[in-house]
């Protein structure tokens, strides 16, 4: 077994989808992180190289989500070997696209591949959650779709209960990431400690409506259910031009728009790839008017999760 090698790619994820704070996550088609691993006789995990992070991430395995997930996967598999890994970051850090989760998922999956796949994908949720908890909190709305693909509802973490939801046919997303970093801990710090009961009731109704719209394929209902009254208003001031960028997406034909995860990436929900591209272009142009460069891309809604490459 020692000397076995494997490489895995885990995609970016769009979490929350407005009212689904910490419980909804969607796998995107691109971009993502790639992890190469090699089993070695010496116990422990060593991060040999990180490419594309701008020197921001630690090579110390216990402080890197890829390293933490790799170590936890070895424990879960009950195998006494070591791992050397290389991480190629395709995701910007602090982007709201599940960067830390992508690294963790790619590492866990690659280690499992190198071991001969003794674990199921569901068995890898725990190791990846441990990695996420170390850097940004215990939540699976990025980890789950990166592992399983598609749109996932996180019903519970203790015990873990993940539910794949169907996606309306033809649904497309425009995503635009401005040239700024917004750390998850910063975005969580601004969230209100208390939520008025009527607001909680409306947000709960919208989350239920999202689930219903996914099963019925009702895009109009899905669009009406995206706006939330708790997380998005609190985080909007952290992203220059956020409200204007969302309005620009709607003016370009998007059905709804909001913040992806902790931000600063914004997403727009669209009926077609043509409309999604128009929305992405409008969002990029609006960020530019607010003094921020930005990169946009379009992704279909239904995508696979982590895979061997």
Task: Render each residue's pLDDT in the chain as its tens digit; 309 residues.
Answer: 667 999 999 999 999 999 999 999 999 999 999 999 999 999 999 999 999 988 899 999 999 999 999 999 999 999 989 999 999 999 999 999 999 999 999 999 999 999 999 999 999 999 999 999 988 889 999 999 999 999 999 999 999 999 999 999 999 999 999 999 998 889 999 999 999 999 999 999 999 999 999 999 999 999 999 999 999 999 999 999 999 999 999 999 999 999 999 999 999 999 999 999 999 999 999 999 999 999 999 999 999 999 999
Give the N- to C-terminal CA distance of the chain in Å, as an integer.
20
Domains belonging to the chain, first-starting first, are: 5-165 (3.30.230.10), 172-300 (3.30.70.890)
Phi-psi category of residue 240: left, alpha or beta, with phi > 0 → left and psi -120 to 50 → alpha = beta
Nearest-CA neighbor of 20 among 217, 193, 166, 232?
A: 232
Kindly state the tokens that stand for 68: 């933490």
pLDDT of 55? 86
Runs of H (alpha helix) within 93-156: 99-114, 125-135, 143-148
Cβ–Cβ < 8 Å for 65, 116? no
Runs of H (alpha helix) within 12-98: 65-77
pLDDT of 192? 96
pLDDT of 258? 98
pTM listed for this prediction: 0.95
Phi, psi of 208 (to 5 degrees): -65, -35
pLDDT of 1? 65
């Amino acid at each position: 077994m020692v000397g076995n090698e494997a490489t895995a790619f885990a995609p970016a994820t769009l979490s929350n989808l407005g009212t689904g704070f910490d419980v909804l996550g969607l796998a995107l088609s691109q971009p993502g992180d790639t992890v190469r691993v090699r089993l070695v006789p010496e116990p422990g995990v060593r991060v040999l190289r990180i490419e594309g992070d701008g020197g921001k991430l630690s090579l110390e395995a216990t402080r890197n989500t890829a390293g933490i997930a790799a170590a936890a996967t070895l424990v879960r598999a009950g195998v006494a070997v070591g791992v050397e890994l290389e991480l190629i970051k395709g995701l910007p850090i602090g982007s709201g696209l599940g960067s830390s989760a992508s690294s963790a998922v790619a590492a866990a999956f690659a280690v499992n591949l190198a071991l001969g796949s003794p674990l199921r994908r569901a068995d890898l949720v725990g190791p990846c959650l441990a990695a996420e908890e170390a850097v940004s909190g215990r939540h699976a709305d990025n980890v789950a779709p990166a592992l399983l693909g598609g749109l996932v509802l996180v019903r519970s973490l203790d015990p873990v209960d993940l539910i794949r939801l169907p996606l309306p046919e033809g649904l497309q997303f425009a995503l635009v990431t401005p040239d700024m970093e917004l750390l998850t801990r910063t975005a969580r710090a601004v969230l209100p400690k208390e939520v008025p009961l009527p607001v909680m009731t409306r947000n709960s109704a919208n989350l239920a409506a999202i689930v219903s719209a996914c099963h019925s394929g009702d895009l109009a209902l899905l669009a009406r259910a995206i706006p939330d009254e708790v997380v998005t208003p609190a985080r909007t001031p952290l992203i220059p031009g956020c409200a204007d960028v969302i309005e620009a997406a709607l003016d370009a034909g998007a059905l709804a728009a909001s913040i992806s995860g902790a931000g600063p990436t914004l997403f727009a929900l669209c009926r077609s790839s043509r409309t999604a591209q128009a929305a992405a272009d409008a969002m990029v142009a609006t960020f530019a008017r607010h003094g921020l460069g930005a990169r946009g891309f379009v992704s279909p809604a239904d995508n696979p999760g982590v895979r061997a490459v």
